[in-house]
Structure 1
Amino acid sequence: MPEITEGQPAPAFDMPADGGGRATLSGPTVLYFYPKADTPGCTSEAKDFSEHADAFAAAGVTVIGVSKDPVKKLDRFKAKYDLKVTLASDEEAGVTEVWGVWVEKSMYGKTYMGIERATFLIDGTGVVRRVWRKVSVKGHAAEVLAAVQAL
């Protein structure tokens, strides 16, 4: 599995997004991967990124959240919490595999494949500038925003 590291070109992506749109890499982007829409940690993370949406936009950065959830579920999730970020659907896990976040996890003694909570900051030239792995949700969006503002 690839390991995306700081300083390397970001792999391109094109996924269906909420509202019938597409999510692609075009310009400065925060790409965050989360396991499942409408679960406690993922909801907190999406709400936190949404709370800072105006500041990300002012910095010229697009925020895209990626999960394996189907677009219909993402539409409901976005509407339920009035989320202000783009939510992309990677149902086949192609993008999550390329970005190295489709990993083996374990819970209650059972192992399974799932999305590792991770965030990537990509600059306007398509280069990965920061990588956060095994993200802890609390304070994460503010930390990413600070990194964006420091670029």
Structure 2
Amino acid sequence: MAKNINVKGVSVSLLSHKKEDFISLTDMAKFKNPNETSLVISHWLSTRYTIEFIGCWERFNNPNFNTTEFSSIKNESGSNGFVLTTKRWIDRTNAIGITSKAGRYDGGTFAHSDIACKNCKDLKGKNGNGFSKSPSIYADSFTSNIQFSRQCLEN
């Protein structure tokens, strides 16, 4: 089930998968750089703070998370030239909180609402544009997550 919300003139895709909410990081990255969304996502994903946050989320929510590979990635982060792509993260750690879909109109990188709303705060621009609120990690339903996601994205 896909839904869209309009945030400051940008359509942001929302998906429900196995009763979990996923928000398009690709659409969110358009606030930072509409022409190079994959670079925005990769740069965000490559920071040590993001890796630690997503790793914590995966350990809590994913019984098949590869903690050995996570530790290796975490140790590599912060070094010069370290770049982490979505594909590399998913393949090495068996992550479920971030996913990528190929396709011109329905493709992109999607993250669980907990992770995506953490990204909202990180994408806030220097001039105050973009996103500014972080999520409550515990959400009860698709509707409340959608409402929270809209608030997260609009402020």
TM-score (norm 1): 0.36
Higher helix share: 2
By percentage of residues, which structure has more strand? 1
